[in-house]
Structure 1
């Protein structure tokens, strides 16, 4: 979260803050509107400054956790995201106020006594309502924002999925695969969160770990990431696999690749590996009589523009990835972008693991995110005997999450009778 993205975020959130303050003042006509506006703008400037400083200073922190800077930045994000939630409510409220004030009669033929009584009652009721609403909107917004930011950063869900396949080799019955995706190690996903995620998968007893892209954003964390992967690889009997996401290309493809090559993690880029040639050969603790092989395949990330070209390149990548795999093999495919699930279903791949979408992070905007181009947003999808899963993200580059927590995924393979 650096460079133009950070600048764009600060500008857009500051503009939303200013408009929100203006709408609030229009709706409630506070006698202290100048004071409220100045205070809100001042806090917004401080919040933006805190985030800018944290982002700039982060590479020089030498991988040391600084709680004041870290939690100060979370608080700054909570303040800025408050306007993200409050703005649409205030906009709708301001429009309603405009029409109510336009349509409200200015003069009513009433007796003086009745007029005074009615006005007094109306004033008390209206004043109470306005004061309550004036306080409720920002209070509700900051509650959702702060809760979503701090809980989004700290809470990690472990999701379990027992998947039955009619043609599963007998030596894979009960086999557990763990998935990490979209960790985005950086400002708001520290090395200790990576360790926490691996601990969760180890506690679930997974046999192998699949990392479906966007592992790291801040290159200053490469040494810490390498050390953690090296130290934890032995906890998973059949190792760890990785496919590229878009952020590997954005942040430093060569540096990230070089780091991974110094760990036991296997990199797959439109390629595959033979996990077992059959009967569980080459696997730890897996034996059986079935001669069918087991493969892990992984695609590269497609940057093709336009729906047709994107679809064409995905198909080309999948064909290259699967080339040479026997038709009777059991295949688990890794792909960062969830759109690859379409190709996986067409090629009858039993299980495909994806990420990229973060599950939209805020559940309420999920339908909007799906509408703009993410057919497979989060969770499990099925087509015949095939399954495709979209991880909600083990991490994030902005920690706001509302009803869409971070997750590590565990898949237990079972034979279907």
Structure 2
């Protein structure tokens, strides 16, 4: 996929794309008179006040114009099949997002656009694009899906004051031990999530255990003098992944794993109880996902003296009949680090059969950065950035690379961050 990522929303774009396909199909069934058949976009007037796409019939170029007036919100896009369609130009100024696309082959693909600020998603727009004879021939099933919802200010303040950057100012470690039961009170799994400050560096570890107390899935945010910061995952069946990023974004990438929610979850305060006898506050919130509509009840247990969250209970309900799907109870400890196995990083970084991977970010520019790794050849390696990016085979960045293949002895990847600028 090609992604224009101004914020760290990569994890949800696949979900958005899946939803976009469904929306597109629904549009085809329920909006035959409003969403398809007119390449000039005039048929969209019933869905949005302004025509937001058009096709230059002679050049075969699709141009999309979207309002971008809200502070902090950014349009991101995903092309389902990049062998059929590619980005030509992109501008995002003057309160309007403008992107143009051209055809690469014959067929149909989906382009989805999401308007978001961090984890707040406001709108999704979708186009089914038909390509023929090297041109964009038509657009059908155009869909606009407004999405609302954001945290109450009290929830925002609570989560911000309990973010990893804030916690690590006063503490050397924070550990969250959780256990999950299903709706019939059957035990499911135990997880341990931990952040440790090591010589001024932030290390992250996550382990999920089965009923035999064996690790079946683990993550690690690992960095030291010799290895740049990256995020690693490893599953019991041997699947390994590694996510690279610019050095300046490593801590933000791993810190995002703390107090983890699904993208576009938001919470409103439902109840609050103070216990002066124990010096604690219990805050109950209603959580809803702006994308999926899934509802949960979240209980935060807060220490009044420090403002720190010491425990949580999350009950997720079925969207169909409000029955309980799962219950997760967590205890949070400070400055009491657990010994973690660190399997994810160790299994990937120190293999017998390694690929020597060299990553050059923004080659030839003032902010150029080089990273070097020894990576197990079976690892799926990805790059992530808060800004848009593109992978290349060559220093001059003229030969695009679709994916990072470490199934070889040596590989150098050149990456431009935010290629639209």
TM-score, length basis structure 2: 0.23
Q: Say which structure is richer in helix.
A: 1
Answer 1 or 2: higher relative contact order, Cα 8 Å, separation at least 6: 1
TM-score, normalising length: structure 1: 0.23
| Structure whose residues are more often strand by fraction | 2
